[in-house]
Structure 1
Amino acid sequence: MRTEAPVAPGRIVLLTASHRVAPGLLSWPAWQTLHDADQVLCSDDAHPQLPYLREAGIGVEIAAPTAQELLDACAGDRTVVVLPSGEGDQALTDGLARLAGSGRVQMPDLELLPGSYDLPGARLLDLVQVMDRIRLECPWSSQQTHKGLAKYGIEEAYELVEAIEDGDRDELREELGDVLLQVVFHARIAQEGREEDGAEPFSIDDVAATIVEKLIHRHPHVFGDESAETPEEVKAHWLRTKAIEKQRDSVTDGVPLGQPGLALAAKLASRVRTAGLDVALPAGDGIGYELLGLAVRAEAQGADPEAALRAAARAYRDAIRAVEDQV
């Protein structure tokens, strides 16, 4: 009596790819698996990978098999690749799990093969896409302008500083996101070029390209032939390069006068010290001149007078609350 050899169960490969990577840019193992597969299935006839697979000579069958149908397709030691397409994938994987858990079915080898991976920073593409949609569909966001959003940029920056000073990493993560949102929001508005007549539009890519170019140019000790051994040498070169780029007549050019007073005084003192200038403090009566002197002295000692005052103010706040608790 002859006994028939058991049928080899085959292999199922679920091929995934990041939507943040351009379709067709798949890893070599992915391409090799696709070429060697006995059958390639996809339930979505608009799947972004399809044109590139067909161009590479890979036949793709548009079908949404059940778990049992997929097992039958693998019978005989066949390899079937499935391109996940979204909504129907959960039902398929749940069905495969039920069959495997029943103990009554010889399951094929099941492999999850990443065809592409997110690069660092890839989630920024999601933010850009979300911002595009919000700008188009949200009644509030669609009406915002650079000027109207300016106050939020200041608020978010202060909240970021507060999170840093509090040492709260969860809050820091959130506040960094809020600051990043302001950048993306302003870039999205600028892309439309409608706020000012004749304004040249620019996008978030232009913003990123500008800062990348600036960073490379101002770090020749990293990207060029120059050397810098200390943070002071790096800062001095940065300021020299910045002065050449901006063609400024004074070391005070570019210092925003609208920043908080102590920070402004410290920034001016820093510019004076870095430039090696001997500038006497202006004489005058009143608390303003006293605060100026304190700010300059703090900067010379390497302290941030604005941060120091905030720390003292926090201590004052705690003292107030302690008295309130007693009352």
Structure 2
Amino acid sequence: MTTEAPAPGRIVLLTASHRVAPGLLSWPAWQTLHAAGRVLCADDGHPQLPYLREAGITVEITAPSAEELVRACEGGTTIVVVPAGEGDQALTDGLARMAGSGRVQMPDLELLPGSYDLPGARLLDLVQVMDRIRNECPWSSTQTHKGLAKYGIEEAYELVEAIEDGDRDELREELGDVLLQVVFHARIAQEGSEEDGAAPFSIDDVAGTIVEKLIHRHPHVFGDEHAETPEDVKEHWLRTKAIEKQRDSVTDGVPLGQPGLALAAKLASRVRTSGLTVPVPSGDGIGYELLALALKAESSGADPEAALRAAARAYRDAILAAEGHEGSEAHEARE
């Protein structure tokens, strides 16, 4: 008479995102927790524990080895392990070694996601990292909005360069650098201003403001209006923006400190969309000639600033060729 081997049981490693509030677990996770023979966790301060206990789940605070865990499953027991950080790698490595040895009857192993990151969840990590840097870094803790202003300009130009180069890896990095500037400034603003008594605001206030603006300026998406073409969308946007800003002039809000060609094109765009008839000023000097060229480019749908940058790059390549270099790529590799 042969004796049947005991049922191997089941080990469930429950994972949960630290970016999701504790207790917000998936329905399969709650079902598995309630049906489990044992629930183990090595960390008595784990943020999930109060919610598990409130749901009537008994959690044993213990850190078994892989061998102990496998033995505990004999007889068909299902054990759920709530990962606790330190020691988790040793446990999973031990289970992998035992399974790979072929000498042990292993229980069923399952990795069960209890919660998932939502899109944008890593932004929470960025906010936390920035908060710590602001508090602990000797350089970052002393920075001001004015002191960081030049970096915002530099990062914006580097982003444009990555776009024009068509380098997606560089684009991803430069977008991160621009995002850092936003989060850095918001973190500084969170402290308020002792000099002028300005009220503090946080990154949530920044995000909330732009969310409200986007919803308000897209009534064809979030409201009852309709837009069939990009031109319709732009008309909605400009009309809504004009009502919000209550500007006295079409030139209001145009930053005069931007590069000259971009400034001329922006003013020309405002004039064109407003329906005004404005004579182009004339005078002696290269400035008026450049102004006329910028207005001509804008009226034809071209970006004069981008066009000049493209021409300047071609000129840079010509210089490299005259110097005997193979091309712009070799030069950029040395920068």
**Fold shared per TM-score above 0.5:** yes
> Residue 22 of structure 1 aligns with which residue?
21
**1:129 has 2:128 as partner:** yes
Distance (Å, rounded) in 2 between the aligned partners of 1:322 and 1:154: 30
Distance 1:58 1:125 in 2: 30
Corresponding residue for residue 65 of structure 1: 64
Aligned to 2:45: 46
Residue 207 (1) aligns with residue 206 (2): yes
1:110 aligns with 109
Shift of 1:86: 1.0
Stretch deviating more after TM superposition (151-160 or 186-195)? 186-195
* Residue in 2 that maps onto 1:172: 171
Matched residue count: 325
Structure-to-structure mapping, 1:213-224, within 5 angstroms: 213-224=212-223
**Could you tell me which amino acid in structure 2 is paired with residue 296 of structure 1?**
L
The one-letter amino acid of 1:176's match is L
Q: In the TM superposition, what are the counterparts of 1:1-327 in structure 2 within 5 Å?
A: 2-194=1-193, 196-325=195-324
Asked if the contact 1:42–1:85 (Cα under 8 Å) also holds between the matched residues in 2, the reply is yes
Offset from partner CA, 1:102-156 (integer Å, 9 cap, x none): 2221000000000000011100011001000000000000000000000000000
State the Cα deviation string for residues 249-297 of structure 1 (Å, max 9, x = none).
Answer: 0111000000000000000000000011111101211111111111011
Report the AA paired with residue 104 of structure 1. R
Q: Give the SS at the match of 1:131.
A: helix
2:324 match: secondary structure: helix
Judge which range, 189-198 or 291-300, deviates more.
189-198
Contact 2:193 2:199 in 1 (8 A): no
Q: CA deviation at 1:195?
A: 5.3
Contact 1:145/1:195 (<8 A) preserved: no
2:105 aligned counterpart, secondary structure: coil
Contact 2:29 2:112 in 1 (8 A): yes
Q: Identity of counterpart residues, as a percentage?
A: 86
> Considering only aligned residues, what root-mean-square deviation do their CA atoms show, in Å?
1.0
Secondary structure at the counterpart of residue 325 of structure 1? coil
User: Whole-Å Cα distance in 2 between the matches of residues 252 and 204 of structure 1?
Assistant: 29
Question: Aligned partners of 1:269, 1:194: CA distance in 2, in Å?
Answer: 37
Q: For 2:45 and 2:221, locate their aligned partners in 1 and report how far apart those are by CA, in whole Å.
A: 45
Which amino acid counterpart does residue 304 of structure 1 have in structure 2?
D
Kindly state the Cα deviation for residue 237 of structure 1 after the two structures are TM-superposed: 1.8
Q: TM-score, normalised by structure 1?
A: 0.98
Give me the whole-angstrom Cα distance separating, in 1, the residues matched to 2:101 and 2:66: 13
Runs of 4+ in 1 over 6 A off after TM superposition: none
Please give the secondary structure, in 1, of the residue aligned with 2:190. helix
**Amino acid in structure 2 at the alignment position of 1:185:** F
Q: Does 227-236 or 153-162 show the bigger shift?
A: 227-236
Cα distance in structure 1, aligned partners of 2:89 and 2:294: 62
Separation of aligned partners in 2, 1:276 and 1:40: 71
2:299 counterpart letter in structure 1: A
Specify every segment of 5 or more residues in structure 2 that has no aligned partner in the other structure, as ranges. 326-335
Give the superposition deviation at 1:166. 0.5
Report the AA paired with residue 47 of structure 1: H
SS in 2 for 1:192: coil
